[in-house]
Amino acid sequence: MVNLLWSILNVALLLAFLYIFCRAALLVKRHIGLAAALFFGFGLLLVGCSKSGKGAAALSPVNLLTSVPKDAPLANATAIQRIDLGGTNKLELLAEYYTQDGTITKPRGLYATLSGFMLGHAWQPVTGWVGKRGNGLHYMAAINHHWDLLGVRVFTQAGEQFEGIMPLGK
């Protein structure tokens, strides 16, 4: 609920700034002219677009298990766990592991991806751990939750932890 209220605050502030900028453009047009108003409007757009395009590039997920060498052979089985972060946002964990005769021998990798959209929030995977427990996988993933206000980072909740037993792939 707090996440939704924070997003509503971001939208309200964005609309308020948009209203103020439109009024300022009309004032410039009325007193100086149409060319100056267009120049003013395009200038505001350039400033706003350069700020919002900062994190647009999607990064490929990295292996959160740092102890695994990069040249380790690929695993022969995977398991996926989906965790709801609030709103439309989900954390998806993919674990790779080696299996022999239907039993897990050891994990090879843990990859985290985030999906969904909520204005004013960003999540970043930090670290993770996966281990064999019986004939299942026990996982732990830590992520940072960033609270942004109009694109400016206000607060970071460091190390939110999620853990549990991961259902094995069939």
User: Which pLDDT belongs to residue 169?
Assistant: 63
- Sorted by where each begins, the domain ranges of the chain are 2-52, 77-166
In sequence order, what DSSP letters do the residues of 73-125 get, joined into one string? PPPSEEEEEEEEEETTEEEEEEEEEEEETTEEEEEEEEEEEEE---TTEEEEE
pLDDT on residue 48: 62
pLDDT of 140: 92
**Mean pLDDT per 10-residue interval, the chain, length 170 residues:** 75 84 81 80 69 49 76 82 84 88 83 82 86 85 86 83 82
